[in-house]
Amino acid sequence: MIFSKIINLSKHTHGADKNTKSKARDLRKKMTEAEELLWKKLRRKQINGLHFRRQHPYGMYILDFYCDKANLAIEIDGKIHDYKKDYDQEKDEFLRHTGINVLRFKNEEVIKDTEKVLEEIKQHINKQNI
């Protein structure tokens, strides 16, 4: 796949159209239990003083959580993702081509062991020396 045009747009405007932005706004109002739990730990610069956004439009996708400074997307996967593996793989490939690292966690991981998930996020960020 060639993403060059999308990559150039993504770095500046994230290339999101109005429909994607509108859908992201709706998703912010309907976060899952796992997303809400993790958001409470990511918001207000609680992780290394970094600003995270939730349900952030990026190109043609919506990222569950995104930190621009760390070039990091965090995706929380529910049961529906068992049937969307190709979509998730394509999304991850697009993000990697635009310089974004992706961490994926299952809903159950976030709910049952939030501290372990947060530690993995912190380790990833610390490896980047941010």
29-64 pLDDT, tens digit per residue, is: 999 999 999 999 999 999 999 999 999 999 999 999
Residues in the chain: 130
Count of domains forming the chain: 1
Q: What's the whole-number mean pLDDT along residues 100-116? A: 97
CATH label of the domain that carries residue 110: 3.40.960.10
Separation of alpha carbons 94 and 3, rounded Å:
7
pLDDT at residue 37, as a whole number: 97
Q: What is the pLDDT at residue 130? A: 73
Q: What angle do CA 72, 41, 61 make, to 5 degrees?
A: 35
pLDDT in tens, 8-23: 444 444 678 888 888 9
Domain that holds residue 86: 4-127
Which pTM was predicted?
0.86
**Across-strand partners of 106?**
77
Residue type, 67: C
Q: Is the pLDDT of residue 5 over 80?
A: no
